[in-house]
């Protein structure tokens, strides 16, 4: 495949960092350079002799820099096919050919993230830069496009390789260019859509991706789109798998409910918490979380809401686990844990959760507000003659947090802020209740004085009756059934306390 030599370039970038080596390569390749404003000044400082764009167009930069490159004498040189007809027109109108376009757009997303000043945000919507990218990418047959500083290394390699490219090189860069421009436009749309709210329009765009070992199963390909490092820092261990990430997300969602609580540890398996405890210190929290189901904890994901110390690390290290996550680790604890090279250790940067949740179904996507609501004691409405005690209220709040993060239908049993038993993913709430009671018994827990939480209402009093016979003394549920009174009556007849939250927490 024949190669095309770069003889001229237009450079207009916001961020100049990384252009130093490019400048040297341009000079060595004897390439004619056209430039504007700050980029022109920077290139002069690097020893180049660029030509100002206004010397081509005979128009200065106007309107506070809003119009610099938007001119036929610029875009003609980019969009012209290198055939006799187009080259003849360029000659007639004294338009120079431009073989290379280098752009780095105004940082719109960073500006949105750093300020609420709408005027400042609007001024960071790049017009000329995005037009240059699209024009050069459209004419990839003849023109090389470098759409952002992320491609500077590609350009440096091209310039050091006789400053020439083949069609595949240019087409690949064009594809990257349209990825940059479409992502930029999506960010602008999403900013405006915050206030306008076009509910029938959806734009989701990510600029970074990580190829995973495989998907949910070995025969499925897996890719993660996003910036993991914004959420956590991987300290050691093997690469995170698709299933690891799904479990890590579930663990983060759960622990976000406990971020301001006393030391809390959760153990998850297949996204469901099988162990959970809050205590005065992290070691006790780990010990009692593990006691919830030490069998299921094998190969699970462990998360804490506070720093892991050496004592806790030594205890955790006795178990085979996939991932251990915490906001921090004592140095001696970290050194011990890192001796097991395949165990994944993650230092949590932020428990911030997305405001929206998405799922692919059928031939489309469904979107909803993320379930960020969590009830506290002030939201509890006691429906029974028996009032819950202060300790029971604390346990009911703990249980309600746990039940929110288990697959529906689900029941949770708790005492002294420790998960004793849970039933999850059952087609019948009665089955979930039976599973929770059985699980607690298998793990050696007595349920006398414990509390129960349900993710949805009780259509009949059967679950309350089962729980009462097992020793449960207080219940939290959303309420809302036309037969709520049946469960309330059972509680009143048997001196149980029951509170309604008014909020259902289905999870599918």
Residues annotated as part of the active site? 138, 270
- Reference 43, options 56, 32, 54; nearest CA is 32
* Number of helices and strands in the chain (H, E): 18, 23
Alpha carbon 259 to its chain's center: 18
Can you tell me whether residue 475 is helix, strand or coil? strand
User: Can you give 179-213 as a three-state secondary structure string?
Assistant: HHHHHHHHHHHHHHHHHHCCCCCCCCCCCCEEECC
Query: Is the CB of residue 475 less than 8 Å from the CB of residue 499?
Result: yes
Helices 128-138, 167-196: axis angle to 10 degrees equals 140
DSSP letters for 492-506 = HHTT-EEEE-S----
In 3-state terms, what secondary structure has residue 296?
coil
Report which of 241, 254, 253 is spatially closest to residue 342, judged by C-alpha positions. 241
Quote the CA–CA distance of 295 and 477 in Å, as a whole number.
Answer: 29
Tracing tokens 């004498």 back to the chain, one arrives at: 73
The DSSP code sequence of 90-136 is HHHTT-----EEEEE---HHHHHHH---HHHHHHT--SHHHHHHHHH
Q: Are 322 and 344 in contact (CB under 8 A)?
A: yes
Distance of CA 421 to the CA centre of its chain: 31
Peptide bond into 409 cis (omega under 30): yes
**Structure tokens given for 194:** 């915050």
* Residues in the chain, total: 508
Exposed, middle or buried by CB within 10 Å (0-12, 13-18, 19+), for 280?
A: exposed
What is the rounded CA–CA span in Å between residue 42 and residue 33?
12
């Amino acid at each position: 495949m024949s190669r095309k030599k770069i003889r001229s370039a237009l450079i207009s970038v916001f961020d100049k960092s990384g252009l130093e080596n490019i400048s040297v390569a341009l000079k060595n390749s004897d390439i004619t350079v056209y430039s504007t404003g700050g980029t022109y000044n920077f290139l002069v400082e690097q020893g180049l002799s660029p030509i100002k764009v206004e010397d081509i167009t005979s128009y200065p930069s106007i309107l506070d820099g809003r119009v610099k490159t938007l001119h036929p004498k610029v875009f003609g040189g980019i969009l012209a096919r290198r055939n006799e007809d187009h080259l003849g027109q360029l000659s007639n109108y004294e338009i120079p050919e431009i073989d290379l376009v280098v752009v780095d757009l105004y940082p719109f997303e960073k500006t949105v993230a750093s300020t609420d000043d709408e005027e400042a945000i609007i001024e960071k919507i790049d017009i000329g830069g995005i037009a240059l990218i699209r024009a050069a990418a459209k004419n990839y047959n003849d023109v090389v496009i470098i759409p952002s500083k992320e491609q500077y290394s590609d350009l440096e390699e091209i310039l050091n390789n006789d400053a020439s490219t083949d069609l595949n090189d240019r087409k690949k860069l064009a594809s990257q260019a349209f990825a940059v421009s479409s992502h930029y436009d999506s960010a602008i749309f999403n900013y405006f859509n915050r206030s306008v709210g076009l509910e029938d329009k959806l734009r989701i765009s990510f600029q970074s991706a990580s190829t995973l070992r495989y998907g949910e199963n070995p025969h499925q390909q897996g890719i993660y789109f996003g910036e993991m490092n914004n959420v956590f820092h991987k300290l050691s261990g093997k690469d995170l798998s698709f299933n690891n990430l799904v479990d890590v997300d579930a663990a983060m969602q759960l622990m976000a409910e406990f971020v301001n609580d006393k030391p809390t540890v959760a153990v998850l398996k297949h996204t469901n918490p099988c162990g959970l405890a809050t205590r005065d210190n992290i070691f006790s929290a780990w010990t009692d979380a593990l006691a919830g189901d030490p069998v299921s904890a094998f190969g699970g994901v462990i998360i804490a809401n506070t720093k892991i110390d050496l004592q806790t690390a030594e205890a955790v290290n006795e178990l085979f686990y996939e991932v251990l996550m915490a906001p921090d680790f004592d140095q001696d604890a970290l050194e011990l844990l890192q001796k097991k090279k395949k165990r994944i250790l993650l230092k949590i940067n932020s428990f911030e959760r997305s405001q929206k949740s998405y799922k692919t179904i059928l031939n489309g996507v469904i979107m909803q507000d993320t379930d960020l609501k969590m009830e506290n004691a002030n939201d509890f409405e006691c429906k029974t003659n028996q009032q819950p005690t202060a300790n029971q209220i604390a346990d009911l709040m703990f249980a309600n947090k746990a039940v929110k993060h288990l697959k529906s239908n689900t029941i949770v049993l708790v005492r002294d802020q420790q998960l004793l038993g849970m039933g999850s993913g059952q087609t019948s709430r009665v089955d979930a209740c039976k599973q929770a009671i059985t699980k607690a018994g298998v793990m050696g827990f007595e349920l006398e004085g414990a509390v129960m939480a349900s993710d949805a209402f009780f259509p009949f009093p059967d679950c309350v009756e089962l729980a009462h016979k097992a020793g449960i003394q207080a219940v939290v549920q959303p309420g809302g059934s036309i037969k709520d009174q049946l469960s309330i009556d059972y509680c009143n007849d048997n001196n149980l306390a029951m509170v309604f939250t008014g909020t259902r927490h289905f999870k599918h």
